[in-house]
Amino acid sequence: MSSTKKPSLHARKLIDKLRTLNSNASLESRQTLANWMVFNRKKAEGMSEGMLLAISTTTTAGDEDPSSARLMLLLRVLHQVFIEGKDDSEAFEKAAQLRSILADVALIPLFQALATSCCSNNNTSSNEQQREKYTTEVKEMIESWKEYSVFDGPTVWEGYKKAWGRAVTDAAASKEVVVGGESDSKAATTPPVVETTSTNDDDAVMDVVMGGQSSTEDSAASSTTEIKTNKEEDTTMKEATSIAEPQILPPSSSTTTTKAASDNNTKGPTEHHPPARLSKRDSMTSVASIDIDFDAEGVEEAEVEPAKFLEASKVIASLQIARGAYF
C-alpha cells in the first residue's frame, strides 16, 4: 500500500501562485512569478516539484480550461525564468542552477504533455490555428535559449531541441493510430492501465501525462539520458580547455643506469653501448647526479690543483657543447 508524499512548502507555494494566473496571463504577471522563482532560487528542488505537480494537474483539467492553454502557460513561465536577468551577467549566473534543475526535471515532461494535448484536439479550424501558433512560439523560445546561453552548453540545448521535435513526432504518430481505427485492436491486446502507486514524482507525472504508455516513458527516459550525456560532454570540454600543459621532467639518473645495465646483461659483458643521448637541458640538469664508473687501476692518487681541474672541466664542457650542437 503506497503512501502519498506531501509536496514541499515551496512546491505548494508555486502551485498556489500558478492557480492565480489564467491561461492568457499577461507578460507582466508571468514576469512577476518568474522574479519570485529566481529570488527563491535556493529552493530549486521545491520549484521543480511544484512545476511537475502543476503539469500533472493540468492534463486532467476540465473543458472550462483546455489543458493545452494551461500547459502553454506553464512553458511561458518556465521560459521567463530561463531568460530572467539575461542583461545582467552576474544575476544571470546566479540563477544558472535553478535553470538547470527546472529543465532537468520539468522541461521534457512539459514538452510531451503539450505536444500530446495539441495533437489530441479535434481537427477544427480554430484548433489547427492554435496548434500552429503554439508550435511556432515554442520554436522561438528554444532559439532564444540558444541565443542567451540558458543551459550549460550547446549540446545540452541541442538535446532539448531534439526532445521537443521527438515529442511532436510521437504525439502525431499516436493520433494517426487512433484515427486509423487501430486503437480498438490495441486496446484489446493491451491490459488496462492501473493508477500508478510509484512514489517517484517523475514516474507518476509521466503516467498521468502520457496515459501510462510505456513507449512514451521509454522515450522520456532516452531524452533525459541524452541530455545528461550532453551535459557531461560540455563539462568535459570545459575542463579540457582549462587544464595546464604538463611539465616535462628530465629522466632520472637511476632510470638511465638501470636501463644501461639491463642492456649489458642481455647482449653480453664484452659488448659496449654508448650512453643514451640527452638534450642540452637534460645533460646540464642531471650531470650532478650521474655516477661515473671508470677503471682507476694503475692511476696513482695525487692532489689536483684547482686551476688544472677548472681547465679540464672547460675542455670537457666545450666538447659536450659542440657534440650537442652537432647531434
Q: Could you tell me if 125 and 231 lie in one domain?
A: yes
Instruction: Report the alpha-carbon distance of residue 38 to residue 81 in Å, rounded.
Output: 7
Tell me how far apart the 2 most distant CA atoms of the chain are, in Å.
Answer: 114
Same domain, 133 and 152: yes
Residue-wise pLDDT tens digits, 87-117: 999 999 999 999 999 999 999 999 999 999 8
pLDDT of residue 252: 47
Q: Does 143 fall in a domain? A: yes
Number of domains in the chain: 2
Is 67 a member of any domain? yes
For 105, other C-beta atoms within 10 Å of its C-beta total 21
Task: Please report whether residue 1 resides in a domain.
Answer: no
Burial pattern 68-101, b for ≥16 Cβ within 10 A else e, equals bbbbbbbbbbbbbbbbbbeeeeeebeebeebbbe
Q: How far apart are the C-alpha atoms of 127 and 270, rounded to whole Å?
A: 96
Residue 163: CB atoms within 10 Å: 22
Give me the pLDDT at residue 301, please. 74
| Domain match, 258 and 237 both | no
Are 196 and 226 found together in one domain?
Answer: yes
Statement to judge: residues 235 and 282 lie in one domain: no
Position 248 in a domain? no
Could you give the CA distance from residue 284 to residue 94 in angstroms, rounded to a whole number? 52
Q: For residue 18, name the pLDDT band (cuts at 50, 70, 90).
A: very high
CA–CA separation, 186 vs 177, rounded Å?
9
Per the model's pLDDT, the better-predicted residue between 68 and 219 turns out to be: 68
The answer on 310 and 165 residing in a single domain is no
**Residue 33's CB: how many other CB atoms inside 10 A?**
19
Same domain, 40 and 90: yes
| Structure confidence at residue 112 (pLDDT) | 94
Same domain? For 228 and 282 the reply is no
Q: How confident is the model at residue 5 (pLDDT cuts 50, 70, 90)?
A: confident
* Least confident window among 24-28, 88-92, 93-97, 173-177: 173-177
> Does residue 247 lie within any of the structural domains?
no
Task: Report whether 11 contacts 49 (CB < 8 A).
Answer: yes
240-288: pLDDT as tens digits: 555 444 444 444 444 444 444 445 444 444 455 555 554 544 544 444 4
| 189 has a pLDDT exceeding 60 | no
Check residue 199 and give its pLDDT: 41
258: containing domain: 253-326
Residue 292 has pLDDT above 90, yes or no: no
- Answering whether pTM is above 0.75, one says no
Domain ends where: 213, 242, 271?
242
Same structural domain for residues 127 and 79? yes
The CA radius of gyration of the chain, in Å to the nearest whole number, is 35
Average pLDDT rounded to a whole number, residues 184-212: 39
Select from 311, 322, 246, 247 the least CA-distant residue to 283.
Answer: 322
Confidence check: pLDDT of 184 > 50: no
Residue 40, pLDDT above cutoff 50: yes
Give per-residue pLDDT as tens, 109-125: 999 999 998 887 666 77
Is the same domain home to 229 and 81? yes
Q: Is the pLDDT of residue 308 over 50?
A: yes
Instruction: Select the more confidently predicted residue: 247 or 13.
Output: 13
Cell of 266: 642481455
